[in-house]
Amino acid sequence: MDLSLSTETVGDRTIVRVGGEIDVYTAPKLREQLVELVNDGSFHLVVDMEGVDFLDSTGLGVLVGGLKRVRAHEGSLRLVCNQERILKIFRITGLTKVFPIHTSVEDAVAATD
């Protein structure tokens, strides 16, 4: 399955819904999307990963890159994920300490810190 992306704005938050596989082939598409959002002034991002079937370190790298970009503008990047097999990759790499990970988009949008 390829990567699917869609965005929605809720207040000052931009929700990026990701579906499919994020790997070395598809990650550049996600990177482009995040860069474009930040360049357009969206600095508070919520990446909804509930539709993601596969995530590898290339995808993690893109998310870390996105986080660096929004932080440069005092922004935030929050993740929504409940899938154990995806969460495991964040735990292995220690990135659970870097990304706020929420159980629902509503929680992520409501979170302030």
Partner 1 sequence: MATVELRFSAVPGHVRTARLVAASVARKAGVDEAVLDEVRLAVGEACSRAVGLHQNSGITAPVRVLLIEDEKQFSIEVGDEAPHQVHDGSPGASEDADVEVEEDEMGLAVISGLVDDVKVSTGADGGSIRMTWPTTTPPAAVLP
DSSP state of 70: H
CA–CA dist 109, 29 (Å, integer): 24
CB 15, CB 5: distance < 8 Å: no
Give the nearer residue to partner 1 in terms of CB position, either 24 or 110. Answer: 24
Q: Is residue 68 at the binding interface for partner 1, with CB under 8 A as the rule?
A: no
From 11-19, 31-39, 44-52, 89-97, span contacting partner 1 (CB under 8 A): 89-97
- CA distances to 2, 98, 110 from 59, rounded to whole Å, are 13, 15, 25
Site for partner 1 in 3-62 (CB under 8 A): 21, 23-25, 54, 56-58, 60-61
Binding site for partner 1 (CB under 8 A): 21, 23-25, 54, 56-58, 60-61, 85, 89, 92-93
